[in-house]
Amino acid sequence: MQKLPPKDLNEKDIIRWMRSLGGKNREEFEDMAKKDEYIEEAYNELKKLSHDEQMRM
């Protein structure tokens, strides 16, 4: 995943990340991923990691 330069990360973006990480279920995270390309990238990486038993250990 690419990191956002500090100048591109504003308060609105931080709140969006907080909401996505605080999601109570998969559907909430999926909804946030649809709204932000960086959150979508993070969500896709989490899905890959959760399917890989070796990486979970």
Contact of 48 with 7, CB cutoff 8 Å:
no
What would the two tokens of residue 8 be?
């591109």
Judge if pTM exceeds 0.85: no
Q: Is residue 56's pLDDT more than 60?
A: no
* Interval 39-53 mean pLDDT: 84
At residue 53, the pLDDT reads 67
Higher pLDDT, 38 or 19: 38
What would the two tokens of residue 49 be?
């990691």
DSSP E strands, 1-57 = none
Domain positions in the chain: 25-57
Q: Is residue 4's pLDDT more than 80?
A: no
Q: Is residue 8's pLDDT more than 60?
A: no
Between the CA of residue 54 and those of 1, 17, 25, 41, 51, what are the distances in Å? 20, 27, 24, 21, 9
Percentage of the residues of the chain whose pLDDT score is greater than 90: 5
